Amino acid sequence: MSLTHLFEPSGIAVVGASQTEGKIGYEAMVNAVRFDGPVYPVNPSTEGELFGKEFVPSVTEIDGEVDLALCCVPGPAVPDVLEECGEAGIGAAVIYASGFAEAGEQGEDLQDAAVAVAEEYDISLLGPNTSGFIVPALNLRCSFASGVEEIPEGNIAVVAQSGGVGLVLAFQSRRQNRGVSAEVGLGNRANVGFAEAIEYFDGDERTDAIVLHVEGTDDGRGLLEACRESETPVIAYKVGQSDVGDFAESHTGALTGDHELYTAGFAQYGVPTVDATDELLDAAAAVGNSPTPDGPNVGVVTAQAGPGIIITDRIQRAGGRLPELSPETQARVDEILPGITYADNPVDTGRPMPEFGEIVTAVAEDDRVDIVLVYELFEAALGFPVDDLDGLAERVDKPVLFATEGIEESMADERERLRDVGIPFFETPERAADAAGALARYARLHSDGATGSDPVPDGGASDGEIGGEPQVTAARNPEVRPDE
């Protein structure tokens, strides 16, 4: 299934467009008309114009090319609308309505009917029960949520089972000055699910990392294999460590499954997992904007001991290691700053110092170090060592992360310079350490060959489930592949 019609449409039809402010058909149209291509409000009971666009009674009567239909109609009307879309040659549709598989047997029948029509006409369905998606670079805002027009372009694709969580992540990315390449709420995953979305964004040149919000799935094998096949790094946030099964099933029709099995499955297929939305974006920023580290060894340079201690503790708990620096690096550090507060790992300079950037370079060039993390409280008279950091990660072929704190207005220009030279930036010691830990876990998973490539022997035990799919119990043995 190609998702080009969905995420790269030539034209959009808003079916069920409304002139009544507050209705989904109105709010979806507010966002859709920002698209640079043609947008058509469709409603058989409405005449006139909406935002300068003339109403048409049916998608079959649109005089122009349309690839995507935004279905702002009640659930029972969806199969008939999709039938008309198929007759009109429309290849993709977003179904906002709820009341489908998440609502019991009758809703499951309705969803099955919608999928049957979609399969007959080869229509890609996003939803049902979704808030839609956005692709900022194309000014494609196919959502009824307010404020999505303010989410900037970035290089992280957000693929969320919950449209609400997808929007949380998108708005967080804006506040963090990162943005997204896309934000997609999968909803009930009628025929566009995790595997299809991962495959599409893996081939998207605007996307450098893919983040997943997962409640549960009945296609655990497809999800994991799509992660394994993706050349673009994937990070996952699997919710449901405690019992939220009934609530999740009523939300997107998801069976949450055993959390430990999911975590083991992701690890086995090379996907680090996290436990918070901000941690998910931080990990993606680190992985997506950095060279792939060769191992989990983190070299820390801090201008203040207290934050350095927090970072040192948290990195090790997050999966990283702090190796002893080589004797040559220690001698080099001592030569740059004789009598330095602490010259091993972490290196503590006591304050930023004019030579701070030279110290960072020395640690980055140590062969024992795979990942570099720098922390300094901002001092206006010294600024950040941007000149030393510019191009450093590419030259040493290692991730270089930077964290700081200070008066935002005072350091705004310096922070912008860091972004301009491509240094992932974090605002607390904990977030920086967790991002370094995610890089370390990513390196471990990929260097250890934990990519699910070895088949399970015939007759392997199968006593667990991931979203209803049989799985080998692998929580304590990530070398075991989920059962076929």
pLDDT tens track for 206-234:
999 999 999 988 888 999 999 999 999 99
Please name the CATH architecture into which domain 151-289 falls: 3-Layer(aba) Sandwich (3.40)
CA distance 410 to 381: 11
* Tally of residues, the chain: 484
- Four-residue CA torsion sign, 21, 23, 27, 32: negative
pLDDT tens sequence across 172-184:
999 999 999 999 9
Q: Please indicate whether the domains covering 1-128 and 293-446 agree at the CATH topology level.
A: yes
Predicted pLDDT at 451: 53
Domain 293-446, CATH class in plain words: alpha beta
| 12 has a pLDDT exceeding 60 | yes
- Lowest mean pLDDT across 16-25, 386-395, 442-451: 442-451
Predicted pLDDT at 164: 95
Predicted pLDDT at 460: 30
Percent of the chain residues topping a pLDDT of 90: 82
Look up tokens 């191009």; give the residue.
391
∠ CA 21-95-119, rounded to 5°:
155
The mean of the pLDDT values for the chain is 89
CA distance 332 to 316: 25
- DSSP assignment letter at 269: B
The CATH T-level fold of domain 1-128 is Rossmann fold (3.40.50)
Mean pLDDT, residues 161-165: 95
Token couple for 55: 């109403």
Predicted pLDDT at 341: 75
| 245 has a pLDDT exceeding 50 | no
Dihedral Cα 321, 322, 326, 332, nearest 10 deg? 140
Domain extents in the chain: 1-128, 151-289, 293-446
CA distance 84 to 86: 5
Token couple for 134: 């956005």
Mean pLDDT, residues 344-357: 93
Predicted pLDDT at 463: 30
| 440 has a pLDDT exceeding 80 | yes
| 279 has a pLDDT exceeding 80 | yes
Token couple for 36: 């640079």
| 377 has a pLDDT exceeding 50 | yes
CA distance 310 to 276: 19
| 332 has a pLDDT exceeding 70 | yes
CA distance 238 to 452: 19
Enter the pTM of the model.
0.89
Longest dimension (CA), the chain: 81
